[in-house]
Amino acid sequence: MPRVTGPLEEAWMAAGGDPHCSRLREDLLATALYAENPSITERGGLSPGSGPSTCLYTWTIVDSAATAVALWTNAVFDERSPECNELTRLPGSDLWTITLCLPREWRSSYRLAVWRDAVPPPWRVVKGRHASRRAAIASGGPDPRARLRIAFPSGGSVSLAAGPDAPADRWGVGLSCAEEPSSPAGGRPAGGSEGPPQRPGKPDEDPTRASGGAVRASGGAVRVKCASRVFPGGVCPRERVDPPRGGVDRLSVDGTRAWIYRPPHIRGVPALRDVPRPARPPDDPASSATPLLVLFDGDMWARRLHLGDALDRAIALGLLPPLHVAMLDSLDVETRWRTLGVPGGHVDAVLDGLLPHIRACYPVSAQGAETIVAGQSLGGLSALWTLALGEGTVGHAIAQSPALWRFDVAEPLLAERRWAGADIQAGAYETETLALSTGLVTTLKGAGRRARLAVACGGHDWAWWRIGLLDSLADILHPCGGR
């Protein structure tokens, strides 16, 4: 873990030898609690490897009852030495702090775990591979002193950290904002489980359309509030945008459930439950055909990250053209492992059922070149299988952190000549995934196929997946300068 003695710790210890120690430490405390977590210091030379390409990220909380506080950061958490992930309590105070030296481009989700019992915290005592990491995640929750959060796949939410040179987040997918960053003086209950943040809207409002990052205005529009930290390293559109709202349909085709996002001004169809639907007539006046994006792990995208809201904004701003998005429901962990990442399961469901059905019932393009399939981890591998087995019905794949340890898909991809491109993304901290992704892209490009590798400064993490997906999608749909 790239831990260093941070500027707050240094100043606190230095103040201990000063005649005015008490006043100096009060000033340090006030300054530390004024900044949002993590505070970023442009300072190099504190440790081997630090320099102009790195900076210091400091987390600080106040908790008088805590006996231990741990920071879980995606892919940076040290499982071999769990104590290295714990914040230091500054002498004579209730202030806890930790500083990491990390790249300026770093982006990650994280949680803070506050432990208040006399017995050792669970992340120190559990046994087994990845057990300490899982214990820290389960014991923790979002940082009360950080403003931006996203949903976490296993429940609740996580906070977000991004360096000063992290790629711009133009999309704001799934972002929710804490009311005001505050010091967790009360802390979280030890071992507690934080629930999903409350979102605006009525309790029975359609969860696919509620947005924690927007305020609903009259007339069904979504009024977007822009925050500077939403677009680190980029230009934030300061004007308020009231985009027309698209719609979301729920349907089931041959037992496969999905959400279908419709762009604004495209009429919908009734929710379907394995009921045959007449083909859309060729002269359907609803609209011209749009591109289609098919997403695995659609429950995360539709229900927890509220992708539809982000698409409404992106289409209104001209960052994306109008498009339809099919988001497949993974149901549960067991079903996900059985149906994703294999040359069957949801791949067959897309190619044999969902794709023909959507093309018959919605104004989407029938061209493979305008059909994109995407996924993350096991879903990323499924995206590549869909490309390989699609016989030209799918032209592009966006595979984020694909689980290539499960299958080598190079030969099937090379055997199918009709796909147009494969965008593969991996985190710099995903050692095995990055190596396998690099090898696959090298093989495909060596055979003359269009394949691109993008390396994110992060781990196996929705923090950057939610940005990288739409960045790649914009590149595919706006190849001449959409970005």
DSSP assignments along 20-51, one per residue? THHHHHHHHHHHHHHSPSSEEE----SSTT-S
Q: What is the DSSP letter of 481?
A: T
Q: What is the pLDDT of residue 387?
A: 97
Q: What is the pLDDT of residue 478?
A: 83
Q: What is the pLDDT of residue 269?
A: 46
Assess contact for 150 and 162: CB atoms under 8 A. no
- C-alpha 386: how far from its chain's center? 22
Local structure of 158: helix, strand or coil: strand
Assess contact for 171 and 482: CB atoms under 8 A. no
Q: What is the pLDDT of residue 267?
A: 57
3-state secondary structure 291-335: CEEEECCHHHHHHHCCHHHHHHHHHHCCCCCCCEEEEECCCCHHH
Q: What is the pLDDT of residue 201?
A: 32
pLDDT tens per residue across all 483 residues of the chain:
689 998 888 888 888 756 667 777 777 777 777 789 999 988 654 454 455 699 999 999 999 999 999 999 998 999 888 899 999 999 988 999 999 999 999 999 999 999 999 999 999 999 877 899 999 999 999 999 999 999 999 889 999 999 999 999 999 999 998 765 443 333 333 333 333 333 333 323 333 333 333 322 222 332 333 333 333 333 344 344 578 899 999 998 888 899 999 999 865 544 333 333 344 444 443 447 999 999 999 999 999 999 999 999 999 999 999 999 999 998 788 888 888 999 989 999 999 999 999 999 999 999 999 999 999 999 999 999 999 999 999 999 999 999 999 999 999 999 999 999 999 999 999 999 999 999 999 999 999 999 999 999 999 999 999 999 999 999 999 865 444
Residue ranges matching CATH 2.60.40.10 in the chain: 3-177
Q: What is the DSSP letter of 351?
A: I
Report d(CA 211, CA 309) in Å as an integer: 7
Report d(CA 231, CA 85) in Å as an integer: 28
- Residues forming a β-bridge with 86: 70
- Which spans in 323-430 are helix H? 333-339, 346-348, 355-361, 378-389, 410-415
Whether the link from the prior residue into 291 is cis, omega within 30° of 0, is no
**Assign residue 76 a region: left if phi > 0, alpha if psi is -120 to 50, beta otherwise?**
alpha
Report d(CA 65, CA 306) in Å as an integer: 37
CATH 3.40.50.1820, domain 244-477, yes or no:
yes
CATH 2.30.30.90, domain 3-177, yes or no:
no
